[in-house]
Amino acid sequence: MLTVVIQAGGQSSRMGEDKALKSFLGRPLIQRVMDRVSSIADEIIVTTNHPAEYEFLNLRLTPDLKPGRGALGGLYTAIESATFPLVAVVACDMPFASPMLFEGALKLMVEEAADVVIARAAPRAERVGKSDEGYEPLHALYRREACLPAIESAIAADQWKVISWFPQVKVRVLTSDEVRSFDPSGLCFWNLNTPEEFIKAEETFKRNGA
What is the average pLDDT across 188-197? 93
Confidence of residue 207 (pLDDT cuts 50, 70, 90): confident
CATH of the domain at 153: 3.90.550.10
Q: What is the pLDDT of residues 61-109, one digit of tens each?
A: 999 999 999 999 999 999 999 999 999 999 999 999 999 999 999 999 9
Closest by alpha carbon to 59, among 75, 85, 37? 37
* 128 pLDDT higher than 90: no
Alpha-carbon separation of residue 153 from 9, 20, 39, 150 (angstroms): 22, 30, 33, 5
Q: What is the pLDDT of residues 2-59, one digit of tens each?
A: 999 999 976 555 565 789 999 999 999 999 999 999 999 999 999 999 999 999 999 9
- In the chain, how many domains are there? 1
Question: Mapped to the 3 state alphabet, what secondary structure does the chain carry?
Answer: CEEEEEECCCCCCCCCCCCCCCEECCEEHHHHHHHHHHHHCCEEEEECCCHHHHHHHCCEEECCCCCCCHHHHHHHHHHHHCCCCEEEEEECCCCCCCHHHHHHHHHHHHHHCCCEEEEECCCCCCCCCCCCCCECCCEEEEEHHHHHHHHHHHHHCCCCCCCCCHHHCCEEEECHHHHHHHCCCCCCCCCCCCHHHHHHHHHHHHHHCC
Q: By residue range, what is the domain housing residue 139?
A: 2-208
pLDDT of residue 133: 72
pTM greater than 0.85: yes
Q: What is the pLDDT of residues 131-187, one digit of tens each?
A: 567 899 999 999 999 999 999 999 999 999 999 999 999 999 999 999 999 999 999
